[in-house]
Structure 1
Amino acid sequence: MAPTYLTKDPVLVPNTGYVFVAPEGTPKPTLPLDIRNLRTLRESVGVSWASIGNTSLENGIAHESEGDDAEVLGTWQNPALRTTNPPKVYTVTLALADFTTETYKLYYGGGTVAADGSFVIPSVPASSTKAMLVVAVDGDRHVVEYYERVSMIGSDGVTYDPAALSEMPVKATILGGSNGLGEISPVMWGKAVVITPPTLDTVTPATAAPGATIQLTGTNLTAPLTVWFGVYEGTNVITSPLGTQVTVTVPDPVETGDVAVQVKVENNFGESAEKPFTIDQS
C-alpha cells in the first residue's frame, strides 16, 4: 500500500536520519513504510546505495541556497512592474563523523589507499558526482529527499576537539537530473493507513449554552480531533477508544444572542459533513 501523507500537523522533529549515496543517475529506491529500522532500510535501498555512515547530531544536515535576491523592476507609471528571477544554487552540507576511506574520498576529492592502509590525499582534488538519498525520521513519520546528481567535496576544515566528536563537513551541490533538481516527500506516516474521513451522525443536544458539554456520535472520530462550531473551536475534546463518540465543550462566541452555527469534526483523515447547532446565550 502507498504511504499516507499527513494532512494535519505535518511537522517533523528529525530525531534520527540516514544518508545514502550511489552512482549518479541511480533511480530512487522504493522504501518501506516503517523506516525506523536501519537494517530494513538498508535492505530496501538495494546494493547500489551505500550508507554514508554517522553524521553530526549537533550540526544536523544544512540546506542552503546561493544566488542573488529577486529585484523589483518598475517604470515611472508602475514602480513594481515585474521582478527578476535570478538563478539559485542549492547545497546540502553533511558533517561526516565516520573516518573511513570512503568518507575521506568524499571530503578530499578523490584519493587512493597506500600499501599500509593509509589514505593518500590527492594533489589535485576533484569533486565526485553521486546520487544522494536523505531520510529524516521522527518516530513513525518521516521525510525522504532524493537527488539524482550532486557534486560532493569537503567544505570547512576538520577540527580535533577532545570534548566533541570530530567531523568532516562535506558539501553536496545539487546539479539536477532528468526530472528537476530533486524530489522531496511531504511528511509521511511510517505505516499503511486506509483513508477513512470522520463522519458525524448526531449532535446531542442540538442547543446548548457556552461552557456546556455536548456529545457527538459518528465514525472514525479519532484523535487528534478538532470540533468546529462555525468559526469557533470547541474545547476539552475527548474521543472514545472506538472512535464513535466525542464529548466537547461549547465555545463562547463573540456575537451576542443565540448563534446558529454548523458543527463539523476534523482530523488527519479529513473532515465530516456539517450538522446544525445553536449556541444558546439567552
Structure 2
Amino acid sequence: MALNDNATLVIGSGNFFTAPVGTELPADLMAIATPWQSVGHTSLEDIFGITSEGGEATTLGSLQNKSLRTKYSPRQETMTFTLQQFDTPGLRLFYGSNAPTLANGLLGVPQDPVPTVAAFLVVFLDGVNHFGFWAPKAEIYRADDMSLSDTESLAGLPLGVKPMALSTNPYAYAVTPLGDADPEA
C-alpha cells in the first residue's frame, strides 16, 4: 500500500440522515435530497464511533496440524452518535418508534420499545472531500442511558445504529473510500 495524502480525513462538519429502508446512496453526497431526512443536531464532542460484538476466533486443528484453520463467529457492529435535538422525531429514535403522542402533546415512553428501522447515512465533510457510511437497512435505538449532568453543555440522546443486511446483500453497510483515483477499482 502506497502513501496517499488524499486519503486522510479531518472532519470539518457532518450530517446524519435516515430514509425508508432500501433507499440508495445519493449520487452527490454534497447535496443530500429527499427521501433522506436529517436527524438534527448532533454532538460536537462525541461525533461518531463504531463498536463491535462477536468475531471471536476459534482455532480448528487436526491430529497432524493443531492450528489448521481459524473460524470466526459472526460480527455485529454498532455505530454510535449523540443526538442533541429533543423534538418528537429525535425522541422516538431514543425511546422507540412506537412511542405514542398523547392527547396533551406529550410523548409516551413505551414499556416495550421498538427500534426505528430505516436506511442510514452519515456524511463527514473535509473541505471539498467527503467520507460517508451508508446502510440500506439499520435499527436505530438508544445506545446508552441518558445523563443530564451539567448546565454548561448541550444535553444529548446517545443513539446506536445496527446495520443489517438487506435482502441478499453480502454486506450490512458500505463506506466511501477517500483518495481513490478510480472509485470502481
Q: TM-score range by the shorter chain?
A: 0.7 to 0.9
Higher RCO (CA < 8 A, seq sep 6+)? 2
Matched, 1:75 2:62: yes
Query: Does structure 2 retain, via aligned residues, the 8 Å contact 1:15–1:137?
Result: yes
**Structure 1: distance between partners of 2:55 and 2:25:** 31
Matched, 1:30 2:17: no
Query: Does structure 2 retain, via aligned residues, the 8 Å contact 1:20–1:133?
Result: yes
**Structure 2: distance between partners of 1:79 and 1:13:** 45
**Structure 1: distance between partners of 2:54 and 2:147:** 29
Query: Does structure 2 retain, via aligned residues, the 8 Å contact 1:154–1:171?
Result: yes
Shift of 1:68: 4.0
Q: Which has the higher strand share?
A: 1
Q: Which residue of 1 aligns with 2:122?
A: 134
**Structure 2: distance between partners of 1:112 and 1:22:** 21
Query: Does structure 2 retain, via aligned residues, the 8 Å contact 1:143–1:188?
Result: no
**Match runs of 1:193-204 below 5 Å:** none
Matched, 1:169 2:158: yes
Identity %: 32
- Opposite residue 9 of structure 2, the aligned amino acid is L
Aligned residue for 1:104, secondary structure, equals helix
**Structure 2: distance between partners of 1:55 and 1:188:** 27
**Match runs of 1:107-122 below 5 Å:** 107-110=94-97, 111-122=99-110
- Opposite residue 69 of structure 1, the aligned amino acid is E
Q: Which residue of 2 aligns with 1:11?
A: 8
Q: Which residue of 2 aligns with 1:239?
A: none
Shift of 1:100: 0.8
**Structure 1: distance between partners of 2:11 and 2:28:** 18
Query: Does structure 1 retain, via aligned residues, the 8 Å contact 2:119–2:135?
Result: yes
Q: Which residue of 2 aligns with 1:275?
A: none
For structure 1, which runs of at least 5 residues remain unmatched after alignment? 1-6, 36-40, 190-194, 196-282
**Structure 1: distance between partners of 2:55 and 2:177:** 28
- Opposite residue 149 of structure 1, the aligned amino acid is K
- Opposite residue 89 of structure 1, the aligned amino acid is Q
Shift of 1:112: 2.1
Query: Does structure 1 retain, via aligned residues, the 8 Å contact 2:4–2:179?
Result: no
For structure 2, which runs of at least 5 residues remain unmatched after alignment? none
Of structures 1 and 2, the larger Rg is shown by 1
- Opposite residue 40 of structure 2, the aligned amino acid is G
**Structure 1: distance between partners of 2:33 and 2:112:** 32
Deviations 1:42-101 (A, max 9, x none): xxx322111011111111111111104212222343232110121000111121011110
| TM-score, L = length of structure 2 | 0.85
Query: Does structure 2 retain, via aligned residues, the 8 Å contact 1:142–1:188?
Result: no
Counterparts in 2 of 1:188 and 1:118: CA distance versus 1, 3 Å: farther
Aligned length: 174
**Structure 1: distance between partners of 2:18 and 2:128:** 24
**Structure 2: distance between partners of 1:81 and 1:94:** 40
- Opposite residue 184 of structure 1, the aligned amino acid is V
Q: Which residue of 2 aligns with 1:4?
A: none
Q: Please, what is the CA RMSD of the aligned residues? A: 1.9
